[in-house]
Structure 1
Amino acid sequence: MLGLGVLLLVGVAGLAASALLTSWLARRIEAEHPPTGRFVDVGPTRVHLVDLAPAVSADENLPAVLLLHGANVQLADMRVALGDRLARRLRVIVPDRPGQGWTGEGGPVVSDPGHQVALIRAAVEAVGARRLIVVGHSLGGLIALRYALDEPQAVAALVLINPTTHPRPGGLPWYQRAAEVVFGPLLIRTVLLPMTLPMLDRLSVRLFRPEPPTEGYAARTGLALGLTPRRFLASMREYADLRDHLTAVAPRYPDITVPTLIVLAEADPIVPPALHGEILAKVLPRGRVLRLPGAGHMAHHRHGEAIAAAIERLAGLPPG
C-alpha cells in the first residue's frame, strides 16, 4: 500500500509540474503570436479579426471576402494562404473563429455552427461589410454553409475548400474517437502542449500530405497557438459535437441558391472528397467543382493562386 501511495504522489506531482509547464508555455506562445488585428465587441465576447483594405481603390459595389479557417488553427492560416493575395484587389476580412486564436468562445455552445455564425456576422456588420463572398476551409466550410443558410441576404457566393459537410458513415475514424477520450481536460491542461510542441514539423507534414508543407508553415501561421489549453479544449468540443451538427444541417443544403465553388483536393486524406464535397456538389442548385488532382488537405496553401483567381472571378473582377 505504501508503494502505491508513493506512486500516486509521484503521479500527482508530475501532473502538477506539467500543468505549471503548460501554463508557462502557453503564455510564451501567446506572447510570440499576439493579436494582429482588431477586437470587435459582439455582446457575449470579442471577435478578433483582420480587416484588409485593397492595395488600390476598389469598386464599392464589389463584395468583401470573408475567410473562415478550419480546426486547430487561427486566422493567420487563411491570411497567409489567401488573404494578402486577395487584398490586392478586394476587401478581405479574416476572423479568428470563436474559441480559436484571440476570439472568445462566447458561451458554452462554441461548437454550434449557428452560434459561430451569429458572432462572426455581428463582427462583420460592425466593421461595415454587408455583401460577402464567404470562403471556408475544412471545418470552416461548414461554418460558411451555415452562414449562407442563416444570412442568405448577406452572401453573394460561397467558396468551400475541402469542406466538412456530411457525417461519416460509421462515425469518426478510430483515432479521432480515441483522441476525445485520451485528450480529456486534465491531460489537455497538463501534458498535451509539452508533448506536441516538439512535433510541429511532423504535424505540418500530416496536415499537408501527400504534398509537402509550405516552407515555415508552423511558424508563419502560429500553429502552436491552437495547442494551448483554452483553444484545444474548444476544438475538442467542436469534434465531439460535429456529427450531430452535420446530421442536422445536411438536409438544408439544397436551400442554398448562391453560386458555390467547391474546391476538392482529390488526395485529401483528412476530409475525403468522396464523403463530403462530392456529395455536397450533387445537391447544391448552383454548385460547381474545381478539382485539384494530387492535392492534400491544405490546398489553399499549395494551390492558393488558382483558388484566389477563382474567388476574384466570382467577385466580378477581370483576370489580373
Structure 2
Amino acid sequence: MISVMIAFVTFVVLAAVVALAVSWGLTRIIEARNPPRGRFVTVDGVRLHVVDLPSQDRDRDAPTALLLHGANLCLDDMRMALGGVLSKRMRVIIPDRPGQGFSEPGPGPVASAEYQVKLLRGLVRQLGAGPLVVVGHSFGGLIALRYALDDPDAVAGLLLINPTTHPRPKGLPWFQRLAGLLIGPLATFTLLLPLSLAMLPRLTQRMFRPEPAPPDYAARSRLTLGLTPRRFSASLREYSELRDQLIGLVPRYGGIATPTVIVAGDADPVVPPKIHAEALAAAMPQAQLVHLAGAGHMAHHAHATAIGYEILRLALRRSEPVDSEKECPDQ
C-alpha cells in the first residue's frame, strides 16, 4: 500500500513538473509572437507599458482619452475597438493596466483600484496629458470610477462600458466560488494555459455572446497574453478582492460630479446591467444611461460608433449628440 502511494505521489509530482515546463514554454512562445508595441514608462519604480496616439485633429485643446481595458485583457482590446477612431479627434492614451499585458504589477496590492489609479495618475503626469475623458470597460470601469474619486479635477468626463460597480446580492455564483478554490497557483502555472489555448475559440465566443466576435479578435487583441500564468494570476487577485472593494465604493458613487455616461449592453451576461450599470445610474442621478439593445459584454467592438458619439460629446462638452456627418469618428 505504501509503495502504491509513493508511486502515485511521484506520478503527480512528475506530471506537475511536466505541465509547468509546458506552460513556461508556451508563455515564452506567446510573448515572442506578441512583443510590446508601445513605450515603457516607469512610475514609482513600476514599469508600465502604454500606447500614446496623437490626435490627428489640429485642435490641441480637446481632452485626452484614457482607455482602460477589462480583466484578462491588454491594451490591444481597447486599441482595436476605439483607439484608431478616437485619435481622429483626440489624443488617446491606452495603457496595459498594472499586472496585465507588459505592465509590471509592482509591489501592489495589484487588486486594489486605489493602487492602480495611483500608478495610472503617475503615468498620465509623465506623459503630460490632461484633462481626461476616462473610458473604462468592465473592471476598467471600476478603475475609471476610482480615478474620478481620487483625482476629480483631472477628469473632464467618464464613459463606462458595462462597468463592474456593485457586489452581487448573493455573492458569486457557486461555480465561480468553486473555481476560485480549485484554480490556485498550481493550476494557474501548470494546466490553465494549455487547456485555455485548446478552448480559445469557445472562450472568445463566450466573451462576446450573444453577439459574434470579430473573426480576427484573438489575434488582434493578443488575447493569449492574458492567459499566461503571471497575468492570469494578477486577474485572479483582482477577482478575489473585488466584492470587498465594491462594498466600500458603492456609498461614494453619489459624490461623483464628473459628467458621466454609462453604456449598458442589455444582453450582457457577464456583468448584468440590472446589478451594475442600472444600479450605478440610480446612484448617480446626474449620469446618463445609454442602453444598447442586444449588446453583450464586449459592446465596444460592435457598437464602437455609438460609443464614439458619446465620448466625443463628453470631450466637446455638448449636451446633444455630435453631428454624425462631421464629428463622429468612422470605424
Alpha-carbon contact 2:64-2:129 (below 8 Å) kept: yes
Task: Report the equivalent of 1:47.
Answer: 48
1:207 alignment counterpart: 207
Cα shift at 1:274: 0.3
The whole-number CA distance in structure 2 between the counterparts of 1:256 and 1:17 is 51
What one-letter code is carried by the residue in structure 1 that aligns with 2:93? I
The amino acid that maps onto 1:25 is L
Give yes or no for contact 1:42–1:119 (8 Å, CA) kept in 2: yes
Matched, 1:299 2:299: yes
Aligned counterparts of 2:311 and 2:64: Cα–Cα separation in 1: 11
Return the TM-score normalized by structure 1: 0.98
Tell me by how many angstroms 1:309 deviates.
1.7
Tell me the equivalent position of 1:193.
193
1:145 matched residue in structure 2: 145
The residue identity in structure 2 corresponding to 1:51 is D
- 2:201 aligned counterpart, secondary structure: helix
The separation in 2 between residues aligned to 1:81 and 1:25, in whole angstroms, is: 27
Q: TM-score, normalised by structure 2?
A: 0.94
Write the deviation string for residues 10-67 of structure 1: whole angstroms up to 9, x where unpaired. Answer: 111111001011001001111111111111110131111100012232x222100000
User: Match for 1:210: what amino acid?
Assistant: P
Aligned equivalents of 1:277, 1:142: Cα separation in 2: 11
Question: What SS is found at the alignment partner of 2:294?
Answer: coil
What do residues 137-156 of structure 1 show as CA deviations (whole Å, max 9, x unaligned)? Answer: 00000000000000000000
Distance 1:29 1:118, change over 3 A: same
CA distance in 2, matches of 1:61, 1:85: 18
For 2:199 and 2:216, locate their aligned partners in 1 and report how far apart those are by CA, in whole Å.
14
Q: How does 1:160-309 map to 2 (within 5 A)?
A: 160-309=160-309
> Is the partner of 2:241 in helix, strand or coil?
helix
Q: How many residues align?
A: 319
Determine if contact 1:54/1:91 at 8 Å carries over to the other structure: yes
| Equivalent AA in structure 2 for residue 297 of structure 1 | H
The DSSP-based 3-state class of the residue aligned with 1:165 is coil
For structure 1, the 5+ residue unaligned runs are none
Single out whichever of 169-178 and 182-191 deviates more from structure 2: 169-178
- Contact conserved, 2:52 with 2:93, CA < 8 A, in 1? yes
Shift of 1:130: 1.9
Write the distance in 2 (CA, Å) between the matches of 1:261 and 1:109: 29
Report the alpha carbon displacement of residue 4 of structure 1 after superposing the two structures with TM. 1.9
Q: Quote the sequence identity (%).
A: 53
Residues 1:32 and 2:57 aligned together: no
- AA partner of residue 43 (structure 1): D
Letter of the structure 1 residue corresponding to residue 98 of structure 2? P
**Structure 1 contact 65–91 (Cα < 8 Å) conserved:** yes
1:7 maps to which residue?
8
1:129 and 1:262 mapped to 2: Cα distance?
23
Which secondary structure state, in structure 2, belongs to the residue aligned with residue 163 of structure 1? coil
Kindly indicate whether the alpha-carbon contact (under 8 Å) linking 1:40 and 1:47 is maintained by their aligned counterparts in 2: yes
> What secondary structure sits across from 1:275 in the alignment?
coil
Q: Is the 8 A contact 2:108 2:115 kept in 1?
A: no
Q: Is the 8 A contact 2:71 2:140 kept in 1?
A: yes
Match of 1:93 in 2: 93
Aligned counterparts of 1:213 and 1:137: Cα–Cα separation in 2: 16
1:16 aligns with 2:17: yes
Shift of 1:299: 0.2
RMSD between superposed Cα atoms in Å: 1.0
Find out whether 1:64 has 2:64 as its counterpart: yes
How far off its partner does 1:286 sit? 2.0
Deviations 1:194-244 (A, max 9, x none): 111111111111000011111111111011000101000000000000000
Q: Distance in 1 between matches of 2:104 and 2:212?
A: 32
Letter in 2 for 1:99: G
1: CA distance between counterparts of 2:108 and 2:6?
37
Conserved 8 A contact 1:44-1:107: no
User: After the TM superposition, which segments of 4 or more aligned residues of structure 1 sit over 6 Å from their partners?
Assistant: none
Contact 1:65 1:93 (C-alpha < 8 Å) held by counterparts: yes
In structure 2, list runs of 5 or more residues that go unmatched.
none
Contact kept? 1:148, 1:256, Cα under 8 Å: yes
Paired residues of 1:257 and 1:285 also in contact (CA < 8 A):
no
